[in-house]
Amino acid sequence: MKLMHTKLPKFIKKMKEAAIRGKRPKDIEIKGLENLTSAKMQSLRTGRIEQAVSEIAERDSVEKLEINVIPRVPETMHTVIVKGLDKEGKCLSAILEVVNILHPTEEAYLLDCDDVDDRRPKIGLH
């Protein structure tokens, strides 16, 4: 499994390194992962995203880069865990609930972009 997944800190590091590889190093801002403290990313997709970052960074007209990580399916189902803790942080009781979250789609992030190369596979074929 180790070779199939890239841990979140390494993913972020790879994106930052990809942005500075070219003739003119570029600043990069990564959005959408701020609330994650740990995660594993698909290594194959990490490599493809790293390549895309390098490709965009190489363009002379590009001054800085921005990555937005958003859900592919705009409506996602989440479990909410409400925990009651004592003074030492031990869980005394918990209630489980569920909530649907409606996320903005990629169009919300691409309104001002004329050149979009959609390299995503069809849903279910990734």
**pLDDT 10s digits, 29-50:** 999 999 998 899 999 999 999 9
Q: Where are the domains of the chain?
A: 1-69, 71-114
- In the block, tokens 């997709």 appear at 45
Report CA torsion sign: 105, 110, 116, 119: negative
Residue 17 carries which side chain, given as an amino acid letter? E
Q: What is the DSSP letter of 59?
A: -
Work out the pLDDT band at 125, boundaries 50, 70, 90: confident
SS3 56: helix
pTM of the complete model: 0.81
> Please, which pLDDT band fits residue 3 given cuts at 50, 70 and 90?
low
For residues 4 and 111, the model is more confident at 111
Angle at 36 between CA 35 and CA 39, to 5 degrees: 165
In the chain, % of residues over pLDDT 90: 83
22: closest CA among 47, 53, 67? 53
Q: 33, 37, 29, 35: which is closest to 56 by C-alpha?
A: 29
